[in-house]
Structure 1
Amino acid sequence: MDLHRRAFCAGLAGATGLALARPALAAPDVLTAQKATVQLAPDGYPATEVWSYGGTIPGPLIRVPQGGSVTRRLVNDLDVPTSVHWHGIRIANAMDGVAGLTQDAVPPGGTFDYDFAVPDVGTYWYHAHTSSMEQVARGLSGVLIVDEATPPDVDRDEVLMLDDWLLDPETGLFAEPFAHPMMMSHGGRTGNLIGVNGQYAHAMQAETGERLRLRLINAANARIFGLKLEGMTGWTVALDGMPLDAPEPVSGEIVLASAQRIDLIVDITATDGPAGLLMSLDGDAWEALVEVTLTGTRAARDTAPAPLPANPNTARPDLANARTFDMVMEGGAMAGMDSATYQGERLGFRALIAQGQFWALSGQAGLSDTPFAALKRGEVARVRLTNRTAFPHAMHLHGMHFREVRADGTMGPLRDTILSVPNAPLDIAFTADNPGKWLMHCHMLAHAASGMNTWIDVA
C-alpha cells in the first residue's frame, strides 16, 4: 500500500470543503449506528464503506445549552454489538456507554436510551465504546457541543473534527486486519489519509479582521497532531471542554493528542497571503489542514478575548490528604515487560502476546475484577503516571476531570485526557465526586484494546 497525504492533497488550494452541518432547531431523538458509503478520499478514488451515526462522517452534530439534556435512542443497525460513550461529559455512570462496565453492549437490531443532563459548557464528542479500536476507526463518532448562556464575542463558531483513515487506495476499503500486531504493539493505528469534518481537504472563507471560535477535536485512533496558525493571531480559551482561567496567547506549535480538544479564539490577520490551520507532517514540513480563503476586510477588534465562564465544581483538589496511586505503563515493542496479570492469571510477555495483550497498567493487562483504585465520594486521588514504554500514551479518565500536578506543586488546567511521553514523570490529581465505575485507559485505541485498560470505583 502506497498512499500518502501529499498525494491526496495535490490541488488542496483549489478544493472547496464542506462545513460541518449546523443542527436543526429540534435535534433528532434517534441516533442510528449503520453502514453507509462516504467519499472520504479525493474524487477519482473509490468511495469507502463506513460505519456511521446517521449515515454521515462525522455523525450528527448534537448541540444543547448548559443544564439541558441529551436524549438519544441508539438504534443498532449494524451486524455487531455497539454502545455510545459521551467523551468528557460528567454524567451519571449508567449513561457512560462502556460495554462490560457500565452497560451491556447493544446487540444488532437492539436499542438503548441515553438520557442525561449536561452540567458543563464546552466542546465534547461521542463515539463507540464497544470494540472501539475498530468501530471508531470505521467512523462511529460525532460532535457534542454544550453552549454557554452568553456566548463569547466572536463572528463565527466553527467545529473542526480532525481524523485519519487507513485505506486501501485501490478499493477504498479500510485496511485490515484492524488488530494488526505491528499497530497494536507500536504507536497504534494511524491513517494514510488525514481529513477534517469527514473530508480529505477542508476549506473555509473568512474576512481579514474577523474573529472566529475554532473548536478542534482529535478523533483519530492514535495520531498526535502538531498544529500551528498561519495568518491568524489566537488565544487558547478551553481545553477538553473546560474553560481556562484566562485566555492564553498561542505561540508556537499546538499539540493535540488523541481524544483531546482545544477551543481557540482567533483573529484573521492575513491581508493577501495564506491563512489557515497548518499541520506538521513528518516533522520537517507544514501542510494546510484547513485553508482559509480571504473574502474581504472588516474592522478588527483591538482587545484580547474575555475568559469563558467557568464550569461548576471545578475547584482545585486539596492535596493535603490525597491518596497516592502509582500507575506504571509497560509493554509494547522496543520495551516489553516481564509479565502481567491477565484474566486472573500471571503470564509472561510471550504468553500475553499470544492473547493479544501487548501492554499493562501497574502489572494488569485489561480489566480486572477489582478496581485500580477504590475511592470514597469526595476523596482526593493523586495518580503518578510512569511511562516505561517507548511510545506516548493519551490517558483518558471517564466521568471526571483532573489536573496535572507540576513539579513546583502548582496545578495545570482541567483535562480529561493527558499525553504521557516515555520517561517523563507525570502526576495528576482529581476529586472523586462522581459515583460509579469509571474507565481509565489509553486513547490510542489499539493500546486500550491490547491491555491499557483499568477502572476506578467511586463509592
Structure 2
Amino acid sequence: MTGMHGNPAFTRRRVLVGGAATVAVLSVGGFATGGRPPKPLPEPPAPAAPTTHRHSLTAAERPVHLLGPDRPASPLWTYGDAPLTAIRARRGDVLEARLENRLAEHTSVHWHGIRLPNAMDGVPYMTQPPVLPGEAFDYRFTLPDTGTFFFHPHCNTVEQVGRGLAGVLVVDGDAPQPYAADLLCLLKDWRLDQATGRFLDFQTDAGAAKAGTFGTLRSTNFAAAPVVRVPAGRDVRVRVLNLDVTRISQVGVMDAEAAVIAIDGNAVSPFPLVAWRMGPAMRLDLVVRAPAPGASARVVDYFAKEPVTLMTLVGDGAAPGTATDFDPAPLFAPALPEPDLRNAETLPFVFSSTAVDQTIETPAGGTIDLGRSLCLNTATYWAINRQTWPERGHEFPPPPLAELKLGRSYVFELANVSPHMHPIHLHGHSFKVLDSNKVERPVHWADTVLLTPKERARIAFVADNPGRWMFHCHIIEHQDTGMMGYVTVA
C-alpha cells in the first residue's frame, strides 16, 4: 500500500485501513526483523551558542489566487506578503516576534507545541491581553526543543485560521546528518465560493455538532497537489503538517519507501510508514527514498473512498552510483523530562457531547461587545468532564479541569465517549502517548493525540511548566462549542 515492497527490513504486523466512514486500527513495526529492538535514539548534543532571531508578523488581509491564476483572488489573512510565513531557528536560540495587528478584530499568536513561558502562550485573556486592531505585541522566548511546529491565533480561531492566519516554525538540530532535501507538506482546506473566490461561512451548526464543517477546496502548500522535484534516489525529509481546522487525513506514501522519524516534532525510532492518521494540528516527519530519475511517488490521504494525492515527488538528476538499502538513521532523542509512572497521579478526562444543550442569549438591548464575542460561541455541543467553555468567552474562565503540582508526574486517562474523533491538545507540555484500547501506536512523545470513537488512551508527562494551560480538541468547531478547558500548574 505504501510502496515498501522489496526491503525485507520493513515489517507490518496488522493494519485495517478503511474509507472515510470506518475507524482505522494502525499497526507499526520497527525496521528490525527477528524480534530485534528498534534503533535507540542518540542523545542530543548541547545547544550551540544561542542566536536571537527577530521576525515581524503583520496580520492583514492579502489577496491570494487559491482557485488558480486566472480565477478570482481570495481575501486571505496572512502574517506576511507571502501566503506562508515560515521561521527557522535552532534549539536554544531566542525567538523575538512582533505581532502587528492590521485586521478589523483582535488577535494573538499561539506557538503550538512549544514549551514556552505561560505569558508567551498567546491565549487572549488567559495569558495575555488581546492584541486589538492597530496594536502590537512582542513575543520573546527560548526554543527548548527541535522539531516541526506551527503558530496560529487562539480566538475566533475557526475564522482566523480558516482565512489562512497561520505559520510554520522549524527548529533545526535534530538530524545527525543532513538530508538531500527538506520539504514542507502543509495540508489545508478552504471554504470558498468557486465563482467569486470569497469565503463561505466557516462554521455551521450541523458541522460543529458532528465532525466539523469541511472546506470546498483542498490544498498542499497553498496549491492543488503540487509536483516537487527532489534529488533522485536519495533520502529526503518531508514535514507533513495538518493545518486544517476540521479535516482528518490518513497519510501514506505510494511508490516509494517511507519511514516516520518524528511525531509532533518529537523524534521516534524510525518505523515504516503504512498510514498515519492525523487530526488538525498534528505533524508527521517522514524520510522518503526519492524516486529514480524521472519517476514519481505520491504523498496521499487514504481517508477517502480513493487515495487523494497531496503531493507528487519526481526524481531529478542522476541517481547515486551505488544503491543502498533504505534504513534511515534516527534523529536525536527529545530532551524531555521522563514521567515517573510508578508515582504518577492518574486523572480521568471524558470527552463527550455536552450534558445539557444550551444556547447563549444576547444581552438586553440586543448587542454583544465585539471583543468578547470573538472568544465565545452562541451554541454548545461538547464537553470535557461535563464542563463546557467558552460560552461567555476566554475572559470568563470556568474552574480548571485539574490543578497540577509543579514537578509532579501525571497520567491522564482520556476517554472519548462520542461517535466522532477528537485530536486532543495540551498547551505548554509534551506528553508521552502510552497505550490505547483501540489503536496500536508506538509509544511516542506528542502534544496532540487523536482519539477515535469510544477510544480510551493514556498519556503521561511531568507538569514542569507553571501557569494556566489550555486543554482542548483541535477540531476548532468542537473547541469553540464547548470541548475546551484548562489545567493549572503551580
**TM class, shorter-length:** 0.7 to 0.9
Contact 1:384/1:427, CA 8 A, preserved across alignment: yes
Pairing 1:252-401 to 2, within 5 Å after superposition: 252-270=274-292, 273-280=295-302, 283-299=304-320, 300-302=323-325, 304-315=327-338, 317-331=339-353, 337-338=355-356, 355-367=378-390, 368-401=397-430
Q: Spell out, residue by residue over 1:388-439, the C-alpha distance to the aligned partner (whole angstroms, 9 max, x if none).
A: 212100000000011223269x982001000011111112121101111100
TM-score normalised by structure 1 residue count = 0.85
For structure 1, the 5+ residue unaligned runs are 1-24, 344-352
How many aligned residue pairs are there?
416
Q: Residue 317 of structure 2 aligns to a residue in which SS?
A: strand
Look up the match of 1:198. Answer: 222
- Paired with 2:389 and 2:360, the residues of 1 have a C-alpha distance of 7
Q: Spell out, residue by residue over 1:134-158, the C-alpha distance to the aligned partner (whole angstroms, 9 max, x if none).
A: 1111111010000007653411111
Correspondence 1:209 to 2:233: yes
C-alpha RMSD of the superposition: 2.5
Contact 2:181/2:231, CA 8 A, preserved across alignment: no
Q: Which structure's residues are more often strand, by fraction?
A: 1
Q: Spell out, residue by residue over 1:160-203, the C-alpha distance to the aligned partner (whole angstroms, 9 max, x if none).
A: 11111111111111102x33211211111321211111122311
Contact 1:342/1:366, CA 8 A, preserved across alignment: no
Correspondence 1:239 to 2:258: no
How much does 1:340 deviate? 8.4
Match of 1:119 among 144, 149, 154: 144
Q: Residue 122 of structure 2 aligns to a residue in which SS?
A: coil
Look up the match of 2:79. Answer: 53
- Paired with 1:74 and 1:148, the residues of 2 have a C-alpha distance of 26
Q: Spell out, residue by residue over 1:89-135, the C-alpha distance to the aligned partner (whole angstroms, 9 max, x if none).
A: 10111000011211111000000000000010000001111211111
Look up the match of 1:179. Answer: 203
Pairing 1:77-96 to 2, within 5 Å after superposition: 77-96=102-121
- Paired with 1:407 and 1:44, the residues of 2 have a C-alpha distance of 49
- Paired with 2:158 and 2:355, the residues of 1 have a C-alpha distance of 23
Structure 1 residues 183 and 149, CA, compared in 2 at 3 Å: closer, same or farther?
A: closer
Contact 1:231/1:268, CA 8 A, preserved across alignment: no
Look up the match of 2:247. Answer: 223
Look up the match of 2:34. Answer: none
145-154 vs 204-213, which moves further = 145-154
Contact 1:205/1:295, CA 8 A, preserved across alignment: yes
How much does 1:326 deviate? 1.6
Letter in 2 for 1:289: L
Contact 1:257/1:419, CA 8 A, preserved across alignment: yes
Pairing 1:1-150 to 2, within 5 Å after superposition: 29-58=55-84, 60-148=85-173
Q: Residue 380 of structure 2 aligns to a residue in which SS?
A: coil
Contact 1:339/1:363, CA 8 A, preserved across alignment: no
Look up the match of 1:403. Answer: 432
Letter in 2 for 1:50: L
Structure 1 residues 340 and 321, CA, compared in 2 at 3 Å: closer, same or farther?
A: farther
Correspondence 1:164 to 2:185: no
For structure 2, the 5+ residue unaligned runs are 1-50, 362-375, 391-396
Look up the match of 2:8. Answer: none
- Paired with 1:372 and 1:439, the residues of 2 have a C-alpha distance of 10
Q: Residue 321 of structure 1 aligns to a residue in which SS?
A: coil
Structure 1 residues 272 and 36, CA, compared in 2 at 3 Å: closer, same or farther?
A: closer
Percent identity between matched residues is: 35
204-213 vs 146-155, which moves further = 146-155
Letter in 1 for 2:116: I
How much does 1:292 deviate? 2.0
- Paired with 2:422 and 2:54, the residues of 1 have a C-alpha distance of 35
TM-score normalised by structure 2 residue count = 0.80
Contact 2:409/2:463, CA 8 A, preserved across alignment: yes
Structure 1 residues 303 and 354, CA, compared in 2 at 3 Å: closer, same or farther?
A: closer
Structure 1 residues 179 and 407, CA, compared in 2 at 3 Å: closer, same or farther?
A: closer
